[in-house]
Amino acid sequence: MNVFKKLILATAIGTCFAPAVNAEMSIEITEGIESAMPIAIVPFANQGAPLDVSSIVDSDLGRSGYFKTLPPQRMPERPTTADAIHFANWQGAGQNYVVIGRVQPNGGQFNIEFQLFDVSNGSSLLGYRMTVPANELRKAGHHISDLIYERLLGKKGIFSGRIAYITSTRNGTQANHKIMVADADGANAQAIASSAEPLMSPAWSPDARRLAYVSFENKTASIITQTLATGQREKVAEFPGINGAPAWSPDGSKLAVTLSKDGNPDIYILDLSTRNVSKLTKNRAIDTEPTWSPDGRNIVFTSDRGGKPQLYSIPVQGGEERRITFSGSYNARASFSPDGKFITMVHGNGGDYRIGVMEANSKSISVLTSGPLDESPSFAPNGSMVLYASRKGNTGYLSAVSIDGRMQQKLVFDSTEVREPAWSPK
């Protein structure tokens, strides 16, 4: 049985277990950018805040791979106001930029202010002030990181986003499957669903307020949508056979799904307001893993109608199905970049499965990872990186790679099985 058909079988019966543990995550930079910008995040003046905001900013920028942060013990000084900065000292320390700030109590909240300076000429590049409750200090740190990232790199930051992923554990004969949601740096991990039966295929709504996923909680496959703020769950599809691979339309009103209720796995469109489904593909092959183009006009899906799994495109309103991948013996699990210019996928040759990215216009594919068992790619909200799952022996873990392949991260979990990551769209 080939890998593609094993995937369909896994979707139908779902078996994936590992020893029972807690899923704490840390991030290792395994390959960075040689031209990473030197930047110093001076510890913020902190008056009673329960969290060190500046350390979050330092960690965010450092793990991005695009910045080289200066350890506090190597800083020539620790100014907290602009007039206390001696830029010659920072030039001597080899820094391009310096960030200062302070956190002050304001009733039951905290005022946070920071400034970003160009060391070469002493100019202020960015200044910002915000007021947040204590429980949002971490979020504020990520927001500051996003602002600095965008100001210096010219593209939106990725630090305020969240990731969803699956953990599967077993303690003796007792299985436990969870859908986890965490900050992009792995903090604040929370289980939003837990079951003794498999949970699979988490997919973010466009507004990042809901997840759709597949549940086997009643021993049969069903598709669930869940509002994260309230935990409210709705079962939106439970047809006979396969109910799988949900993907949100760009406006959040529909899901593209894989159903086999008519006897063969095909792509359907599910209207979430009416629960009506319309059949999009009609082929005797296996059609699965739909994803919407950002403009909502087309759906790309995986099909083995040509003998081996490849990517095909079809207009959402129906029409001619076009094969769009021709390089490699296996191309599956497509995901569009937010601007629609790239499609990431699992790209296989001879049993070796890696993450590839294809230019949507030229159809040219670049292989980003070393394999051999990489899967489930998902674009960052700014399109600069791809999050994916991989395996080493019996252990599943997550990694991220920049779309030029120059920067790679490994998301290290505390001895747990993790898979099927999805990066929130905002």
| Fold entry, domain 3-16+161-423 | Neuraminidase (2.120.10)
Identify the CA nearest to 406 among candidates 64, 151, 97, 147: 64
pLDDT at residue 401 greater than cutoff 50:
yes
273: confidence class by pLDDT, cuts 50, 70, 90: very high
What is the rounded CA–CA span in Å between residue 391 and residue 80? 45
17: confidence class by pLDDT, cuts 50, 70, 90: very low
Q: How far is CA 134 from CA 102, 141, 160, in A?
A: 14, 12, 17
pLDDT value, residue 20: 30
pLDDT value, residue 11: 47
User: Which ranges in the chain are annotated with CATH 3.40.50.10070?
Assistant: 33-153
Q: What is the pLDDT of residues 18-70, one digit of tens each?
A: 223 334 555 555 666 668 999 999 999 988 899 999 999 999 999 888 899 99
pLDDT value, residue 409: 85
Average pLDDT on 384-402 reads 87
Q: What is the pLDDT of residues 212-246, one digit of tens each?
A: 999 998 889 999 999 999 999 999 999 999 999 99
Q: What is the 3-state secondary structure (H, E, C) of the chain?
A: CCHHHHHHHHHHHCCCCCECCCCCEEEEEEECCCCCEEEEECCCEECCCCCCHHHHHHHHHHHCCCEEECCHHHCCCCCCCHHHCCHHHHHHCCCCEEEEEEEEEECCEEEEEEEEEECCCCEEEEEEEEEEEHHHHHHHHHHHHHHHHHHHHCCCCCCCCEEEEEEEEEECCEEEEEEEEEECCCCCCEEEEEECCCEEEEEECCCCCEEEEEECCCCCCEEEEEECCCCCEEEEECCCCCEEEEEECCCCCEEEEEECCCCCCEEEEEECCCCCEEECCCCCCCEEEEEECCCCCEEEEEECCCCCCEEEEEECCCCCCEECCCCCCEEEEEEECCCCCEEEEEEEECCEEEEEEEECCCCCEEECCCCCECEEEEECCCCCEEEEEEEECCEEEEEEEECCCCCEEEEEECCCCEEEEEECCC
pLDDT value, residue 258: 98
Q: What is the pLDDT of residues 282-336, one digit of tens each?
A: 999 999 999 999 999 999 999 999 999 999 999 999 999 999 999 999 999 999 9
Average pLDDT on 400-412 reads 85
Look up residue 425 and give its two tokens: 């769209």
Contact 22, 408 (CB under 8 A): no
pLDDT value, residue 49: 92
pLDDT value, residue 12: 44
150 Ramachandran zone, left/alpha/beta (phi>0; psi -120 to 50): alpha
Average pLDDT on 258-280 reads 96
pLDDT value, residue 350: 83
Q: Counting beta carbons within 10 angstroms of the beta carbon of residue 373, is it exposed (0 to 12), middle (13 to 18) or buried (19 or more)? A: middle
pLDDT value, residue 352: 92
Report the share of the chain in percent with pLDDT over 90: 77
Which CATH number, 3.40.50.1100, 3.40.50.2300, 4.10.640.10, 3.40.50.10070, labels domain 33-153? 3.40.50.10070
93: confidence class by pLDDT, cuts 50, 70, 90: very high
Q: What is the pLDDT of residues 259-268, one digit of tens each?
A: 999 999 999 9
Mean pLDDT of the chain: 90
pLDDT value, residue 16: 31
Please tell me which residue, 36 or 96, carries the higher pLDDT value.
96
pLDDT value, residue 410: 83
Identify the CA nearest to 420 among candidates 191, 169, 178: 178
Please tell me which residue, 152 or 409, carries the higher pLDDT value.
152
pLDDT value, residue 332: 97
Contact 41, 52 (CB under 8 A): no
pLDDT at residue 6 greater than cutoff 60:
no
416: confidence class by pLDDT, cuts 50, 70, 90: low
pLDDT at residue 347 greater than cutoff 60:
yes
User: Which ranges in the chain are annotated with CATH 2.120.10.30?
Assistant: 3-16+161-423
What is the rounded CA–CA span in Å between residue 256 and residue 38? 44
